[in-house]
């Protein structure tokens, strides 16, 4: 079983980042575990104009979608920003959903 883990935050000091890093460190299945850093999937703020100009296939979102497609289990530690998830997560999800509408489904 392949496991993918990431913290849905852009903060270096995020408690959520610490949580999934600990999960990665102490998981008994480390050899099958891939840990992502959300900010390594660099992309501009999503807009239809940006999508038309840059396309999706060259973006960090394509690498994000590919990582999800190669996994069986996803562990996400969501950050809470003003009662919702972070803008960084929303942005990568917006880009990814233009590549694969059902981002988390195979």
d(CA 35, CA 98): 23
- Where is pLDDT greater, at 30 or 67? 67
- Where is pLDDT greater, at 104 or 80? 104
| Per-residue pLDDT, 106 | 61
**Residue 4 CA: distances (Å) to CA of 53, 59, 72, 105:** 30, 19, 8, 14
In 3-state terms, the chain is what percent helix, strand and coil (to 5)? 45, 20, 35
The model scores a pTM over 0.75: yes
d(CA 47, CA 69): 24
Contacts (Cβ under 8 Å, ≥6 apart) of 102 = none
Q: pLDDT digits over 79-101, tens only?
A: 777 888 888 899 999 999 998 89
d(CA 59, CA 47): 13
Q: pLDDT digits over 9-52, tens only?
A: 877 777 877 777 777 777 765 568 888 888 888 888 888 898 88
d(CA 42, CA 3): 22
Handedness of CA 11, 62, 96, 73 (dihedral sign): negative
Domains along the sequence of the chain with CATH = 3-99 (3.40.50.360)
């Amino acid at each position: 079983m392949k496991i993918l883990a990431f913290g849905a935050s852009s903060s270096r000091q995020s408690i959520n980042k610490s949580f999934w890093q600990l999960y990665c460190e102490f998981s008994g299945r480390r050899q099958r575990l891939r840990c992502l850093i959300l900010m390594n999937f660099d992309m501009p703020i999503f807009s239809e104009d940006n999508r038309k100009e840059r396309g999706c296939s060259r973006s960090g979102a394509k690498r994000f979608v590919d990582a999800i497609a190669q996994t069986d289990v996803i562990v996400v530690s969501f950050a809470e920003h003003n009662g919702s998830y972070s803008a960084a997560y929303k942005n990568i999800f917006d880009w990814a959903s233009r590549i694969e509408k059902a981002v988390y489904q195979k």
